[in-house]
Structure 1
């Protein structure tokens, strides 16, 4: 059984665990889901021997060794909840032991060899949660470089010498010891593109929903004729921490066509990321460069749009699936081919293209971002009223 990170049913459990931990823990984290399963599906819970996140489950299937990746002891509070798990009566055997990245976990099992076509005994190396791997794999290993991890969701991850004093932004230890990753983002960036493609009734073909939206958006103009979209379709995490926040179009008129709505949805990704980039800059931790990661990084329109809205240069690595390069850096260290994670990443990462912000767009996107930011604040209480009603829903995003 698998439960997606986007599953929001464990909100009550997250509140109780947050009270135990003394800081907010979002329902997207692991322990609230474990507690929800125990309380709402006791049969499934009793049959469960271990809980894994996806990367460690894959490693377990490959080599038969159970572990939880732990890049720094600080992360224990966000994985299995530290002391909260025992306080809740959860047996420690349910949670695999921690291990550091860049270690040989075991050798490929014969059954896994047959499934993958790789030789039995091939080393299986411990690595990272996806966001830490992408930091390495994008080369965001110097203060001031940010990695924009794009996909179903999206996060602006800034490499910094110290955590942010404002804990609305998520400050976590970097993959490189001594550095910090400060982040905030969008829970439904790619999901918003897919949603709009489906809602707009774009024809079924071999193009992804995102590509259809971008194609339509290019037929509009910057600013989408004064139309904004707020892309909060499943609540929001850092820096807003509003699980009841919902999306909206703002400024819609009879003059707008499907291409304008598509443009507004596409631009909302840039504005959502700017909530973090500008917020950090105002707190003395500004980015000077953004490296994009993930499948959307291959889209020239989107990379140029982000550069214009963020008013920052955007670079695309040769291998935009930066998690792969970051994990390759961990393998290099484990196998003795790299002296450190930072050195291995610097050797492996190469930039393919760079997009400079268009100075002619600065005033317009500054103006629109100001409205976007004000609209978010206005939408928060309205969303809370909507989601507290008897017809409130949100979907479970559960997988099996």
Structure 2
């Protein structure tokens, strides 16, 4: 088990959980985010998920090492009065109209607060049988770059349900997240993550396709600059037959920054007729930037279709040359190619307002290239 956890956190500085810049653990100051919602009060309430519920879900999960995972243990160990969260509960047969928006803002510390601000969150999204819901969670910039956000989300899709979750993180601080997803018979879950500006980002996604017909689609884009780190870890567990999963992640790293992607697909012995696809493509913009990608397949069934592909490279010089020949400046040509590279993930959100916002955010991040 130690080996599993060591490999899982190969690229993430877990010491950030207990210290910041050499500061002792007691220098953490519990802080409260400002949470605003755009949703019906009957479906969405600002209330943290109880630790016992999250712990029970982790114990039921088939993912090895989950109950002793450092991020999850740190979240569960927080004092109740420190924890915040949002719970979305969609009744059976309910199809929500519009999008449920959750905004999390991180204000500056008060003069009496000395130390590193730590925000602990515990959320839940539960979609009842044959229900449908779309949720956008937006983490806005922290007032302090030293802040730490420790978030956990329990996502449950009951039989026949459809859940689409879009998360945008531009905290400018350290953001640790754990997502536990369970998908029942003929239910579908799509999770899209857009990581634009985070000092350190580590996101774990543990997905269980628990019953036949379950479908999961994970997509993500991450941009890093300066000395930032973005590390996405995914474990997709096909526990039942006739399930499908798809992963598409794209990353861009510049300066001295670093990215990492680990996608582990596990297919259980009884999970026949599994379809599991995975792609991870990355661009590095300097000799000092680095992105590590680790596609992993663990298959114990013999009637499956499992493919994975991973690339790390530079900008296409021919495409840049083509645009230069048409009067486009070098810097603008590079930006256009990167925007086009990321666009595929953003455009799959199928949310016009969010797409426009994200395209604008990406364009601004690339202005200095």
Same fold per superposition (TM over 0.5)? no
Q: Could you say which structure has the higher helix fraction? A: 1
Scaled by the length of structure 1, the TM-score of the pair is 0.29
The structure that is strand-richer by fraction is 2
State which structure, 1 or 2, has the greater radius of gyration over its C-alpha atoms.
1
